[in-house]
Structure 1
């Protein structure tokens, strides 16, 4: 399944935010927040202060619940997010990104815009029945989310670290059994 670029970017951003709560925490300081914005350049209002950082950190459990919910529950959570927010949809084009949908005004708080961008991306996931592309990492010691946007649905792990750890463990198990 190929999602639109803005859907994929919203899903990547939401998964990154959720995973930033895992140990070691990767969204603790304003420098961490700046790094997040460098990887996921949101347009609109950016206060870049401790309050905005705290709002993003507080949003993570809600995003995790939305991303991991079964399809019908995911739809309910998306509907709640959309109902809780003043939606002002419009098509925009900016900073080298072609026409795409912004559902919340640019002056609204970043956490609100992230929530609604995630909800809008999950609408595509729900409609395509592709919720299985978002899962918990297959590494038994990890609770981070894995986002599989590959064509062959082959991504099992949240990161290269977890992939390598499991590849080495499988190799050692094969060597021990030989």
Structure 2
């Protein structure tokens, strides 16, 4: 579980999982496994025997806990919530080499940590790094009417308010039409 670097971006993985679980709180194990593979996990690591229905249920619960942090916009509350996650998962940085992967950073309790423990620890570390680099939460919930997708806003420029250019455009057009009518 969880090779850091080379294409795997823990915060992006978390946002993808959070959006999927928010859309379907009972997201099937197979859909969770497919998302994990899209974010760098080896297909064999998330096969039915290695990633069970119980693992999927625990992972969905972990995603729900992490989603509460992704909806927090106050820098102090977000930082405290991330600290609580790090304490709760017993995160201690260590190098790991398993399942044919190169040495990489893990922050879970050990190579036998559960999927939920691994996701919580790696996501909390990624969110902590984002807060420390940006001075606050560089994430949010889309401000577009009728959209509640979560997004990362870690790029250059002003703070993001929308999950996509389509939502931003839709809101600008709606505002323009309201002004034209008023």
Which TM-score applies when normalising by structure 2? 0.72
Other-structure match for 1:17: 17
SS in 2 for 1:101: strand
- For residue 75 of structure 2, what is the aligned residue in structure 1? 71
Residue 82 of structure 1 and its aligned partner are, at CA, apart by 2.2
Query: In 1, Cα distance between the equivalents of 2:148 and 2:83?
Result: 26
User: Is the alpha carbon distance of 1:167 and 1:29 closer, same or farther for their aligned partners in structure 2, counting shifts above 3 Å?
Assistant: farther
Give 1:85's match in structure 2, choosing from 65, 83, 89. 89
Question: Which stretches in structure 1 are left out of the alignment for 5+ residues?
Answer: none
Alignment coverage as a number of residue pairs: 171
Alignment of 1:130-149 (within 5 A): 130-149=135-154
Distance in structure 2 (CA, Å) of the matches to 1:96 and 1:141: 44
CA distance in structure 2 between the partners assigned to 1:162 and 1:96 by the alignment: 41
Residues 1:97 and 1:151: Cα distance change in structure 2 (over 3 Å) = farther
Structure 1 residue 101 corresponds to structure 2 residue 105: yes
Cα distance between partner residues in 2 of 1:100 and 1:71: 29
1:30-66 deviation per Cα after TM superposition (whole angstroms, max 9, x unaligned): 3312221221224796532211111121122311222
Cα contact 1:45–1:110 (8 A) shared by 2: no
Distance, in Å, in 1 between the alignment partners of 2:98 and 2:161 is 34
